[in-house]
Chains A and B, each alone.
Chain A
Amino acid sequence: MSRSTKVKFETTTVQFVRPLLGFNDDTFELAQHDADYPWFTLSVADADFPSFIVVDLAAAFTGLSLDIPDDIAADLNAQDIDDLLILGIVNVADGFTVNLAGPLVVNLIANTIAQVVQDTDLSTAAPLNGDN
C-alpha cells in the first residue's frame, strides 16, 4: 500500500451526518497537513476547540479491513468507494496512537463525514510505525 496519500487538497468543509461521539459540533474544516504525507487536521468551524489530528488509514496501515454499513454509506451519499477517504483519529498525547475502532469516513464529493464504529476488537490505540 502506498505510503503517500492519494488525496490532494488543502482545506475543505465537511459536515458530520451523525454527530461525532462525545461532541455536538457538525461542521468541520478538513485540511491536509502536508501533501507528501498522509496527515490531516480536522477542526471545528469558527471555534478553537475541538480539533483533531487524523491520518489516512490506507497510507498508515496495511491489511486493515473496515466495515462501512450500508445505512451510513447512504447517509454519506457515497456513490463510489474511490470517493471515500478513511481517516483515523490520532491521540498525540498518547504517543501518536490511532483509534482504529472508530474511523472517520469522508465522502470527498458530497463533503460529508461520519464516524463508523467497528463492532470488532480493533484497537483504539494502535501505534504508528513512525520515527518519533
Chain B
Amino acid sequence: MLVLTRSSNAGVQIGDDIEVVVLEIKGDTVKLGFSAPRSVRILRSEIAEQISSKNQNSAVRTASLDNIAFPALEATS
C-alpha cells in the first residue's frame, strides 16, 4: 500500500481523472472529497465489504431455484 502524508486542502491525483482532496481534519476524523468519472464507484470500504459479502451469501445455484418454496407476502412497513 502506498502511504502519503497530506495536510488539509492537499490532494492526491490517481491516474488522469481521479482526485482525492483532504477537506478537513478534525480529531481522528478526516473529511475527503472525490472527483472522478461517474463510472467509478466510490463507497465507504465497510459498506462495500458488507454488501459484497451479503451478495455472495445470497447467491444460489440456478439448478436449486426449482426447489425453493416462495412465501406468500403481505407488504411490510
Task: Spell out A's residues near B (CB within 8 Å).
Answer: 1, 3, 18, 20-23, 33-34, 37-39, 41, 43-44, 47-53, 55, 59-63, 71, 74-75, 89-94, 96, 99, 101-102, 115, 117, 119, 124-132
A132 near B74 (CB under 8 angstroms)? no
Q: Is B5 an interface position by the 8 A CB rule?
A: no
Question: Which range contains the number of B residues in contact with the other chain?
Answer: 20 to 34
By secondary structure, the B interface counts as: mixed
Q: How far is the CA of A71 from the CA of B39 in the complex (A)?
A: 8
5 additional contacts, CB 8 Å, given A22-B56, A102-B55, A124-B54? A52-B58, A53-B58, A61-B75, A99-B54, A130-B73
Interface stretch among B6-14, B17-25, B27-35, B62-70? B62-70
A89 near B65 (CB under 8 angstroms)? no
Chain A, Cβ-Cβ closest to B53: A22
Task: Spell out B's residues near A (CB within 8 Å).
Answer: 38-39, 41, 43-44, 47-48, 50-65, 68-77
A129 near B68 (CB under 8 angstroms)? no
B72 near A49 (CB under 8 angstroms)? no
